Amino acid sequence: MTKFADMTDDEIRVKIAKIEAQIAKFEGRQREKRAAAEGAEGEGREPPSYEDMEIITDSQARCDAILQMRGEHAPRPLEFESARSYRVRALTAVQKFCSVHKDINVKDPAIKGSFLDRIENEIFADATKSIKSGIYADGSLVPVKTRDEHGRLRVDYYGSPRAAFAPFLSKSRNVNFTDIAKTSAKSLVKFT
The residue ranges of every structural domain in the chain are: 50-164
> Which mean pLDDT values do the consecutive 10-residue runs of the chain (192 residues) have?
75 90 89 68 68 91 85 86 89 85 80 84 86 62 77 80 75 61 54 46
pTM of the model: 0.52
Amino acid code (one letter) for 121: N
- Using alpha carbons, select from 80, 122, 127, 89 the residue that is nearest to residue 107: 89
Amino acid code (one letter) for 184: S
Round to whole Å and give the CA distance between 95 and 110: 18
What are the tens digits of pLDDT across the range 98-113? 877 778 888 887 777 8
Q: Could you tell me if 56 and 84 are in contact, meaning their C-beta atoms sit under 8 angstroms apart?
A: no
DSSP code at position 76: P
